[in-house]
Structure 1
Amino acid sequence: MRIDRFITVTAMGSRKEAHQWLKQGRLTVNGQSVKLAKQQVEPGQDSIALDGEVINYAPLSYYLLNKPAGVLSATKDSRTKTVMALLSTADFRADLFPVGRLDKDTTGLLLLTNDGQLAHQLLSPKKQVTKLYQAQIDGLVTAADVARFAEGVITQHGTKFKPAKLQIMGLDLTKKQSVIQVQVLEGQFHEVKRLFQSIEKPVLKLRRLAMGPLTLPEGLPVGQYRPLTTMELTALKNSSKGV
Structure 2
Amino acid sequence: MRLDKFLSEMGIGTRSEVKKLLKSQKVTVNGETITKPETKIDTDKDIVCYNNKQLVYEKYEYYMFHKPAGCVSATEDNIHKTVMDYITDTVHDDLFPVGRLDIDTEGLLLITNDGALAHNLLSPAKHVAKTYYAKIDGMVTDEDVNLFKKGVDIGEEKPTKPAELTILKSKPISEIELTITEGKFHQVKRMFEAVGKRVTYLKRISMGPLVLPDDLKTGEYRKLTTEEINLLINN
1:37-116 paired onto structure 2 within 5 Å: 59-88=59-88, 90-91=89-90, 93-116=92-115
Contact 1:128 1:186 in 2 (8 A): yes
Q: 1:210 to 1:58 in 2, by over 3 A?
A: same
RMSD: 2.0
User: What SS class does the counterpart of residue 71 from structure 2 fall into?
Assistant: coil
Distance 1:119 1:156 in 2: 28
Deviations 1:28-50 (A, max 9, x none): xxxxxxxxxxxxxx987xxxxxx
Instruction: Name 2:144's counterpart in structure 1.
Output: 145
Contact 1:84 1:92 in 2 (8 A): no
1:223-238 paired onto structure 2 within 5 Å: 223-238=219-234
1:1-243 paired onto structure 2 within 5 Å: 59-88=59-88, 90-91=89-90, 93-156=92-155, 158-172=157-171, 176-239=172-235
User: What SS class does the counterpart of residue 179 from structure 1 fall into?
Assistant: strand
Structure 2 stretches lacking a partner, 5+ long: 1-8, 10-40, 44-56
Contact 1:135 1:204 in 2 (8 A): yes
Distance 1:203 1:78 in 2: 27
TM-score of the pair, normalised by structure 1: 0.72
Deviations 1:184-228 (A, max 9, x none): 001111111111111110100000000011000111111000000
Distance 2:70 2:117 in 1: 27
Contact 2:145 2:165 in 1 (8 A): yes
TM-score of the pair, normalised by structure 2: 0.74
Distance 2:125 2:118 in 1: 13
Q: CA deviation at 1:93?
A: 3.8
Distance 2:216 2:142 in 1: 33
User: What SS class does the counterpart of residue 209 from structure 1 fall into?
Assistant: strand
Identity over aligned pairs, percent: 50
Give the number of aligned pairs: 184
Distance 2:104 2:156 in 1: 25
Moved segments of 4+, more than 6 Å: none
Q: CA deviation at 1:157?
A: 5.4
Contact 2:132 2:179 in 1 (8 A): yes
Contact 2:138 2:174 in 1 (8 A): yes
Distance 2:140 2:66 in 1: 27
Q: 1:191 to 1:156 in 2, by over 3 A?
A: closer
Distance 2:73 2:158 in 1: 24
2:146 corresponds to which letter in structure 1? A
Q: CA deviation at 1:171?
A: 2.3
